[in-house]
Structure 1
Amino acid sequence: MKGKVLVTGFTGNVGSFVGKYLKEAGVNFKAAVRNVKRAEEKYSNEIEFVEFDFEKASTFDKALEDVDKIFLMRPPAVSDAKKYVKPFIEKAKEKGIKQIVFLSLMGIEHNPIPPHYKIEKFIVESGIPYTFLRPSFFMQNLDTTHRFDIKENKDLFIPAGKSKSSFIDTRDIGEAAAKVLIEDNHLNKAYTLTGSEALDYYEVAEIFSKALGKKIIYSNPSPLRFRKVMINRGIDKTFANVMVGLYMSTKMGMAKKVTSELEKILGRKPTSVEKYIQDYIDCWK
């Protein structure tokens, strides 16, 4: 690979691992961030940071300088894909980008409501070779968004009903993204990425209970109660609505699919929920 990879969303749950695995493979990359100074203070000075903001088109040219490929993530705050993401894709086309690896959503090909659906269409229409990664529910949501309730209230406070989810570790997604950026046989393909099994949240609560040595329950709140509690905690209403929408999809059984596509890309079994909890156990103790 002659040029560099631009990694957007570097400070998030997936982008940081994409960077980690690219670095381990000896691939040059630029980490796209909104605040370079803050990123340099937080992360290794061996990483090349570049200012990038979907809402500031003036940052596009420098971010794409010397870049061949892009790992693309949509920030949660960017909901208008046509206004903010499409112009970046058009600029990437202008710059001759050879591949966009886009972090999408499982089942998005049948769900035109989330912005990921439009972004996939914009990429295809641009003619830039692509790889779409469509992962299931992130395990790491349990040590970020839901960390407080698990640690302080001993509760999986999630409105997902009795449905199952094929949980996936973002470390695995990051490794898969790095592989499809490096290898040549993934162009113009879409992969549905899941863990090896689908579990309901009662089962996940049991796994937590065994790992932490204390009883963790799954209270299964109503979507309206969940939304109200999240907003009262200071979460933006728009993001709270997105969360409710995602869990409603889960409740309807849209997150239970299990595929072997992640295993094929990685050449190994996906990380289990048990392994993830052990690795992150200090988050909830």
Structure 2
Amino acid sequence: MSLEYTLYPGCVASTREIGYEMSVRKVFEALDISLLKEEDFSCCQPACLVHSIDYVKGLALTTRNLAVAEEGARPMMTLCSSCFGNLSRAKYLLDENPGLRNDVNELLKLAGREYKGDVDIQHVVTILYNDYTLEKLKDQIVKPLKNLNAAPFYGCHIFMPEKYSHWDDPEFPEKLDELITITGAKSLDYNEKTSCCIGCGSFFGEVSENASVLLAENILESAKSVGANCLVTTCPFCIMQLEIGQIKLREKEIDFNIPVLHYVDLLGLAMGMDPDELGLNLRRTSMDPVLSRL
């Protein structure tokens, strides 16, 4: 029996990072993992947006998506780590605070919805690691990436705060490293692997582009110093920030030329899939440093 999930695409993955969504669909189809579409989802509302103006109404907008997913009676899968963090945060707050849940449900009644607390929130990599399992993934590897040095970039929202997600140790995470290793690539340790890229704060780049680009430069320089051929992340915001950061740095004659992949891209390549079918031709930076090592 195949695994089934209700797909929550979010905003970034289905618009600015469509190659990533292509990659997920291609890899999950090959793994016989079913992703079922739900038309009634909306933006998850990052906490820095509506929540900062009206806390309960902002939380209701996030929770509405949980109520929609509950009606499908199957786990929901996010493509985006920020979505995973926002939705997990909403679930935690409402499950721990009955009064707050009542306030939110009063607002949801206006949309004909109710949050019951039954939804299971998953992310692409939590499914691969926990539900599909590493052992089964190993059996899918037909083209080990033995010539590739990959720098894991964990991002923030998939495991911080720990009380929301419970996926990995927020201080010393290991699971992305383990997922990378089964593809045959070497997973590198480096200083910035758990840093924040301010990707979800691409808003931050509007305030101070120099500071935003400097953060990207620090991450890229750290990965380069240990011999990375690529960065591997779990989040489309991280991809966007680190790719755009490289474009901005090239304008200053600083050229890293380090491809940024989502983990499913790496897995798809190790499964022998065509790079274009994984949407790698749609990325902002050249994938040649990776593809030349296949």
The TM-score range, normalised by the shorter chain, is: 0.3 to 0.5
TM (normalized to structure 2)? 0.36
Higher relative contact order (CA 8 A, sep 6+): 2
